[in-house]
Amino acid sequence: MIKLTLVVACALIDADNRILLAQRPEGKALAGLWEFPGGKLEPGERPEPALIRELKEELGITVEEPCLAPLTFASHGYETFHLLMPLYICRKWQGTVAPREGQQLAWVRANKLRDYPMPPADIPLIAHLTDLLL
């Protein structure tokens, strides 16, 4: 039986309709690829609080739960596990986005997202963001 891994991700969208991508740092699986910020849920954790926690840890920003709007999800089978990843949109947060875990960050227009190499699970999410923002 294959393990199901639940990960939550966020498309932070700034006032210029750009989306934040984070590059996975060296030493992590899929290092060098660009992804939407987020991370794994802890046991018993709901997706929204997990995402709020991850955004604080990774980017140093504070997000309120009502500011997270679910957009779509990814379901992707990797070799050793199956990933299920809800993607939320967030346009409002407190603080300044800054890399807290050694990752590179980029604010990217929706029509340029495909220029960034991404993990296989993230790629199908691009079309939803493009439809929303273009």
pLDDT (0 to 100) of residue 95: 98
pLDDT (0 to 100) of residue 26: 87
* SS3 state of residue 117: coil
pLDDT (0 to 100) of residue 102: 86
Q: What is the largest CA-CA distance in the chain?
A: 45
- What is the Cα–Cα distance from 106 to 21, expressed in whole angstroms? 5
**What contacts 48, CB < 8 A, 6 or more positions away?**
8, 65, 68, 88
> Quick check: 95 and 52 in contact, CB under 8 A?
no
**Amino acid symbol at 39:** G
Sorted by where each starts, the structural domains of the chain and their CATH numbers stand as 3-133 (3.90.79.10)
Give mean pLDDT in consecutive 10-residue pieces for the chain, a chain of 134 residues: 94 97 90 96 96 98 98 95 97 97 95 97 95 90
* Triad 91, 93, 98: Cα angle to 5°: 105
pLDDT (0 to 100) of residue 29: 85
DSSP 8-state class, residue 114? G
The pTM assigned to this predicted structure is 0.94
List the end-to-end C-alpha distance of the chain, in Å, as a whole number. Answer: 41
User: Which is nearest to 125 in space by CA: 71, 81, 67, 77?
Assistant: 71
